Structure 1
Amino acid sequence: MEADAAHSFSMFALFMQADWVVKSVMLGLLLASVWCWAIIANRIATYARARRDMAAFDRAFASTNSLADLRGEYVDANATGLSAVFLAAMEEWDKSHAQQAATAGGLQSRLEIALDLAVSEQSAALEKRLGFLATIGSAGPFVGLFGTVWGIMNAFTAIASAENTSLAVVAPGIAEALLATALGLLAAIPSVIAYNKLNADAGKLIGRLEAFADRLVALLSRQLDAGKAS
């Protein structure tokens, strides 16, 4: 008898006893939690790789004597991060010179536009899927609460039908309802923590992209002025 009682209050048993609405809520929250952990793992790996690539490109950029040679090293690679921003600037530089439109003011404006677009594209890639973490972090507890409220309503309906208010009648329905809230928190808490950390990491990487873009505009503008002066 005790084994049956223990079994009836296991998570699987509570799930199987729940109403279909509560089951749908539980399954949705469980899938959302799994997807959140997949996003977290993906973003951690992506940001670690982005930091390594940026550090490597920084070293190459600082040590090069020719931007054309540096471009040749990265032009056939799958450029991301700083290298993608650099290639966007060099492409605009070449087009402007090819069309004899390399005036100081005009070229600098076009370079800034090209770099802004490249930084925006790389920023969007870094922030990809973070919105889902924010959504689950804010909505997860409320979805779980909806399942809990629905389950408690069913529990009280069952009590009224059975005309019995003993704990043995009340407990299973309330327990399965509260499980929905627990799953909501299980999905929301890691999502909120991960979103705050990953969003801060993405902001730092985007800041490096923006700083490099400004530095590159200044460098190319200085080269253009030096070429015209000579």
Structure 2
Amino acid sequence: MSADITFFGLFLEASLLVQAVMVTLLLASLVSWAMIFQRKAILSNALKTAREFEDKFWSGVELSSLYHEITHKQEALTGVESLFKAGFKEFARFRKGNHGSVQGLMDATHRAMRVSLSREVDKLETNLPFLATVGSISPYIGLFGTVWGIMNAFIALGEVKQATLAMVAPGIAEALIATAMGLFAAIPAVIAYNRFSHKVEKLENSYINFIEEFSSILHRQALSASATEKQGA
């Protein structure tokens, strides 16, 4: 067995199965890092967009003007902007049709925003299950490669009359690399998954709070409009 104790040398000396394990873990790690950078950018942008929109929303701007502004944006709406558009659109459509009671109006508006919320949370959670999977199974895949490599090393050792540490060391080293690669793939994936899950939960809570606050504003408007109509009648 070769005594070339380098990563590339050990990889070339490993059995096909251990090589396949190493390549699988390397690919999983590369894909995980790509998803980590992508999710980081998306979640950071979602937090920034939510803060900017809520600052504008609470600045005292008229809701109809704000609705007109965001519906004419060239880029696709995301996050709290989507919730606002869905809620105000349903509110205006229901009032224009003069359908039912104030409670019916608010129920329809609230349902529209909850559906939009579900879609937005699904977008934020994209790729998180993959990171969770890589974080949970990569150590076991690496351990499998290690067990297989060490088993082959001892089988080869049993075929010689005089065993030395120099003969068995490369085989054990190449097997242990599989475990190291499993941990290398798993640790960043687990850390990223936990961090991103916390950010998604934080954003979801922020969206839910906005829905409740926006619903209260629309409810007051609906009650005021209803009272005015009754007085006019």
Q: Could you say whether these structures have the same fold, taking a TM-score greater than 0.5 normalized by the shorter chain as the test?
A: yes
1:27-74 CA-partner distances (Å, limit 9, x unpaired): 111111111111111111112111211111011111243211101111
Question: In the TM superposition, what are the counterparts of 1:25-64 in structure 2 within 5 Å?
Answer: 25-64=21-60
C-alpha distance in structure 2 between counterparts of 1:162 and 1:99, whole Å: 90
Q: Is the Cα–Cα contact under 8 Å of residues 115 and 213 in structure 1 kept in the other structure?
A: yes
Name the stretch that deviates more: 47-56 or 176-185.
47-56
C-alpha distance in structure 1 between counterparts of 2:33 and 2:163, whole Å: 41
C-alpha distance in structure 2 between counterparts of 1:210 and 1:92, whole Å: 17
Question: In the TM superposition, what are the counterparts of 1:126-205 in structure 2 within 5 Å?
Answer: 126-205=124-203
Give the equivalent residue in structure 1 for 2:107: 109
Name the stretch that deviates more: 96-105 or 186-195.
96-105
Q: Is the Cα–Cα contact under 8 Å of residues 26 and 181 in structure 2 kept in the other structure?
A: yes
Query: What is the alpha-carbon root mean square deviation over aligned residues?
Result: 1.4
Name the stretch that deviates more: 92-101 or 147-156.
92-101
- Counterpart secondary structure, 1:165: coil
Q: Percent identity?
A: 40
- Counterpart secondary structure, 1:65: coil
In structure 1, stretches of 5+ residues that fail to align are: none
Cα distance 1:75–1:164, how it changes in 2: closer, same or farther (>3 A)? farther
> What is the CA-CA distance between 1:161 and the residue it aligns to?
2.4
> Number of paired residues?
225
Give the equivalent residue in structure 1 for 2:84: 86
Cα distance 1:102–1:69, how it changes in 2: closer, same or farther (>3 A)? farther
> What is the CA-CA distance between 1:195 and the residue it aligns to?
1.3
Give the equivalent residue in structure 2 for 1:21: 17
User: TM-score scaled to structure 2, two decimals?
Assistant: 0.92
C-alpha distance in structure 1 between counterparts of 2:22 and 2:214, whole Å: 51
> What is the CA-CA distance between 1:102 and the residue it aligns to?
4.9
Q: Is the Cα–Cα contact under 8 Å of residues 144 and 183 in structure 1 kept in the other structure?
A: yes
Give the equivalent residue in structure 1 for 2:231: none
Q: Is the Cα–Cα contact under 8 Å of residues 155 and 173 in structure 1 kept in the other structure?
A: yes
> What is the CA-CA distance between 1:23 and the residue it aligns to?
0.7
Name the stretch that deviates more: 83-92 or 154-163.
154-163
C-alpha distance in structure 1 between counterparts of 2:38 and 2:163, whole Å: 49
Does residue 225 (structure 1) correspond to residue 223 (structure 2)? The answer is yes
Q: Is the Cα–Cα contact under 8 Å of residues 21 and 145 in structure 2 kept in the other structure?
A: yes
Give the equivalent residue in structure 2 for 1:215: 213
Q: Is the Cα–Cα contact under 8 Å of residues 64 and 70 in structure 1 kept in the other structure?
A: no
1:72-130 CA-partner distances (Å, limit 9, x unpaired): 11113211111000001012112212332152111111122111111111111111111
Q: Is the Cα–Cα contact under 8 Å of residues 91 and 106 in structure 2 kept in the other structure?
A: no
Partner letter of residue 73 of structure 1?
E
Partner letter of residue 66 of structure 2?
L
In structure 2, stretches of 5+ residues that fail to align are: 229-233
Name the stretch that deviates more: 34-43 or 172-181.
34-43
C-alpha distance in structure 1 between counterparts of 2:168 and 2:80, whole Å: 61
